[in-house]
Chain A
Amino acid sequence: MKKILAYATGGLIIWSLVAASVMAQGITPVSKYTLWIGNHYTDFADYRGKVGEYDRGQERWLPEFILEHVSRGEGQFTSFKAHYFDENNILGTLTSRVGSRFQADFRYRSSVPQKGQDLLANLETREAINGNPGGKILTHEILDPGAHYSVHRRELEGRLDYLVSPSHNVKFMAAHKTTLQSGTEQKTSANHCFSCHVTSNGVKVEKVIHQLTAGLQGDFGKHTAGYEFAYRSFESKTMAPTAYYDEAKHPVNGGSGAEFTSRQNFSDTSLPYGTYPRTEKVQHKVRFKGPLGSGDYATSLSFSKSFNRDTDLDGTSWVGSVSYAYPLDVRTRLIAKLIGTKLDVDEVFVDVPTYRRGRPGPQSEFDFTRYSSLNRFDLRGSLEVIRRFNEKVTGSVLLGYDNIARDDYPVHDEGLTTSRFTGEIKVRYRKGLRYSTAIKYRMEKTTDPFTSGRGLFEARGRDVLNPPAANFAFVFYYQREGLRYQNITTQPTLVHIFEWESSWKPDKAVNVNLGLKGKYDKNGDLDSLDVNHLMIQPHLALNYMPNPRWSLALGTNYSHAKARGPVAVALFDG
């Protein structure tokens, strides 16, 4: 962090010198400084918030200040703002434009989301056998009771734009963003056998994200072409926490160790858990835009590759998009959009110990090759006609079609293909900037929507034993393929959305909103289960902002949600 701050400070100083030298060539700049100094105190009496995730206050007096600076002159503009709320909540922005070719933007912001602590109190029970305690046990243990979890998030970002050639609109840009997260968060580890024992502990967090972007664009006649490179890395700097996984044995009498151990992937050992892999991602993107016939087109093609450095797994992505806006007449436009995405992720062979290894009777090999659920070709297109009836009324009709062909989900080489038809009609009335109202209706009809292809955490594509194996009169739960490979989903096959939004600005500083949003969806493939969701959300809001330093937001919204899902049926004994 110190390095980053040093670089940032150095960069700002250099930039200020450049700006000053250019300013000296022009007229005397006008500068304005504003310093706000004060204190704040937050009272948490009667505080009944859930976690207060983003509540920033502390129960003590804290100094607070805001420094603002704006300077302007011929060919130069600088705007700076720093807001110190407390040591964890700081915001700083700097925008500077020098001459007609340079522009720089910097921003720093920090916050501390509160994470709360799950006391795991529900994890304390024991089954009964014939009215007596016995059998399986579920317990929990908090190793740091009363802990306060939070993660300090800091972001520093900058962007430079340079106009290389005004005549050909050749522009270069470079941007960087660093995100640091540090603090403590709750991690739980679960022993599956011999008792189900969940242990909670505080774990240090130190995550670092770097993003770098650079691009170049230029005009060729009436067309613009551009190239952009992007890089992103993620790394967790803390050592992975470890947990001891119990020696497997019977939960009541401590016996049958070998039998229970043979059903676990590991037992009586300490292993890391809750890790974050080191990942990197690179992206190359080319884009073109310009006039075509009487309309305008924009198209782009990008290729990206993501790397999991801990497992050597790679994922690739191709994304191509084309859009075209064509004026049918002076009041009517046709808009066509098409975007295609091809995603591929490395397959990986998962080798796990034989189930009931070394035991008499049936054994099972659960090794499998993981084919990624991300593998797919996704094609989405839409066609829209927009008509401006007069100065105040605009109407539009949209038709869309999506096709998502998954290669390996839920089963390898037998992927699920989802197709979705969309229709939307919208009418908007506006009277200048003072009043507007819009009504929209949208309908989506989907065949074979995304489903959980693995109903109960089971690996897909595995052979199943059915009927029961020799010497066993019952079916293991993992053998119930009808449940494992369920093809039902609660994702909707039919969606209706209605939206009404109106906005009234009686004054430059005041805005009043009134609206209603309603959504109803159902899964037509599950008529017997009558899966549906209904949401109705009316809202009223008043925003008052007499100047940039004062804002008041008042509002009320009512959300009515009703969901009816499949009955979670009783299954079986584990």
Chain B
Amino acid sequence: MARKPKVLFPLIGAIALLIIASSAVPGYGSKTGQAPPEAALVGNAACRDCHEEVSDAFAGTIHGLTADASGRSAGCESCHGPGSAHIEAADPALIHNPGKGGQFEQSVCLGCHNTEAFDSWSVAHHNRGDVGCADCHKVHAEHQAWTPEYVQKTCYNCHGNVQAASFMPSHHPIREGKVTCLDCHNPHGGPVRFVQEETGRELCLSCHPEKEGPFVFEHAPVNEDCLVCHAPHGSVANNLLVANEPTLCLNCHAMHFHATVEGVDGAFSVPQAPDRAGVSTVDGWKKGMLTKCTQCHTQIHGSDLPSQAGSTAGNTLTR
């Protein structure tokens, strides 16, 4: 079944075209400015003389209120660098303005925000998509707690398809404010996509550890990837399933043997007992055995207890 991918050359060609085409685009010069080496620190008050509105708002931020952990000057010049040359010449080019730099100019923020959560920022999904710190964080605005509502608004600014999914009948309680995007995702980057844990499976197990095992009797897709069966942002099917039972189960498993009674060599038929209407109907067995598999196979994520049927070696996850 192995087939050679036929898309390698087109994609390599696309990369080459991208680079060649971009060479025709006028250069994008840095607008971030830079303080000269001889510039000296002047303090927040000097900045406020000209930037009163921004300076006052900044005073209420966590940056403006707390001392700089790196030991540099607390306040404006922690990020913008020494301001004396800028003040004397009134030249915007003589002060560092990291907000103008976009994705290539995040080092100022990372100078202090350098815990594990930021390890992968240089290769993070957002960074790669030209989303910088200032796209989500208001550095100069008054402190805003990351309440569930505020997290939603910030993330949904760009991720409208996730917001749409969260309005499906089955969803994680995001819109109810019980779970936020940050419970699962690290917007500053992660080893896999941008989830908080090292693998997608481990992420799910961090809140649902009863499904981890190791179990004696396993269900392979549980070990493979939770996304084989679940759509975490929302689904029309119950329990965040990608499709309702039994359709989902029948994607991998053949029809249950009790759904028919004629035997493998006979025609597909359904048992009928017209005289027992309401109990045994035309579709009685189909209804019984092809409606909701987990009514009997309750331990679908794994079990340590053998099930009753002998020929399955206790492996049917019913107990």
Contact = CB atoms under 8 A, between A and B. Distances in A.
Nearest to A563: B243
A457 B315 contact: yes
Interface of B: 1-3, 5, 7-8, 11-12, 14-15, 18-19, 22, 25-28, 30, 60, 62, 65-71, 102-104, 114-116, 119-120, 122-123, 128-130, 134-135, 143-145, 147, 149-150, 152-153, 156-161, 163-165, 167-171, 173, 175-178, 191-192, 198-199, 206-207, 209-210, 212-218, 220-221, 223-225, 228, 236, 238, 243, 247, 250-255, 257-264, 266-268, 271-273, 275-276, 279-281, 284-285, 287-289, 291-292, 295-296, 298-299, 303-319
Contacts of A330: 27-28, 30, 104
A573 B257 CA distance: 6
A566 B11 CA distance: 32
Given A126-B273, A348-B216, A501-B160, A425 B7 contact: no
A372 B288 contact: no
B66 A133 contact: no
B248 to A, nearest CB: 10
22 contacts: A77-B65, A77-B66, A109-B178, A313-B215, A323-B120, A331-B27, A332-B19, A337-B123, A387-B22, A395-B22, A397-B15, A410-B220, A447-B2, A450-B228, A490-B251, A513-B156, A543-B156, A548-B145, A553-B175, A571-B255, A571-B260, A572-B263
A491 to B, nearest CB: 7
B308 A245 contact: yes
A-B pairs with the 4 shortest C-beta distances? Answer: A125-B284, A513-B160, A452-B252, A572-B264
Contacts of A352: 306, 310, 313-314
B59 to A, nearest CB: 9
A389 B250 contact: no
A385 B253 contact: no
A457 B312 contact: yes
B176 A574 contact: no
Contact of A217 (B8, B11, B104, B115): B115
A279 B209 contact: yes
Given A53-B170, A70-B143, A232 B310 contact: no
Contacts of B306: 265, 350, 352
Size category of the A interface is 35 or more
A91 B150 CA distance: 15
Contact of A50 (B150, B165, B238, B288): B238
A421 B7 contact: yes
Contact of B119 (A298, A319, A489, A573): A298
A196 B318 CA distance: 12
A438 B128 CA distance: 13
A572 B254 CA distance: 11
A175 to B, nearest CB: 11
A421 B6 CA distance: 10
Contacts of A501: 158-161
Given A314-B214, A570-B264, 12 more contacts: A75-B65, A171-B115, A173-B115, A330-B28, A373-B218, A385-B19, A391-B102, A450-B220, A457-B316, A476-B311, A478-B311, A572-B260
A453 B11 CA distance: 33
Nearest to B213: A308
A511 to B, nearest CB: 5
A299 B152 CA distance: 30
A553 B7 CA distance: 41
Given A276-B210, A321-B191, A476-B311, A574 B258 contact: yes
B220 A539 contact: no
